[in-house]
């Protein structure tokens, strides 16, 4: 069951990157391209909270205390792809727009494919 769930999650993430959420997924020429290695470097700073949502990397540290669901929900997704939980919570257009200020880059296309492949192969 868990394997099926992860496959569905990765399929949704791949679909989302091209269809569902164009306002979050537009290929900005201003957006910095980050590799997973660069993201892992960011994760070394324990004072930061970094999440990946729809293949974009966000430093949500300044938003921790203001998040309506509490900072723990953001912290539990530190260093992870939080696309599915984010979309499942049906965030408003305002919340999506506000996210832009915390964006630090877009995940490199090779790493997006690796992330999707990793999630579809997980069986835990």
Confidence bin at 124 (pLDDT 50/70/90): very low
- The tokens for 54 are 């729809």
Q: What is the pLDDT of residues 32-41, one digit of tens each?
A: 999 999 999 9
- Mean pLDDT over 15-34 rounds to 54
CATH number of 2-121: 3.10.120.10
- Alpha-carbon torsion 66, 69, 70, 75, what sign? negative
Q: How many CA atoms lie within 13 A of 108 on its CB side?
A: 9
Q: How far apart are CA 63 and CA 124, in angstroms?
A: 31
- Mean pLDDT over 2-6 rounds to 49
The domain limits of the chain are 2-121
């Amino acid at each position: 069951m868990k394997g099926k769930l992860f496959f569905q999650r990765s399929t949704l993430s791949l679909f989302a990157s091209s269809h569902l959420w164009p306002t979050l997924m537009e290929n900005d020429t201003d957006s910095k391209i980050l590799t997973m290695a660069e993201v892992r470097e960011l994760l070394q700073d324990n004072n930061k909270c970094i999440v990946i949502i729809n293949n974009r990397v966000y430093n949500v540290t300044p938003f921790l205390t203001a998040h309506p669901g509490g900072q723990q929900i953001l912290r539990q997704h530190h260093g992870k792809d939080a696309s599915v939980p984010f979309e499942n919570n049906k965030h408003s257009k305002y919340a999506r727009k506000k996210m832009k200020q915390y964006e630090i880059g877009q995940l490199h296309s090779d790493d997006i494919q690796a992330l999707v492949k990793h999630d579809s192969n997980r069986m835990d």
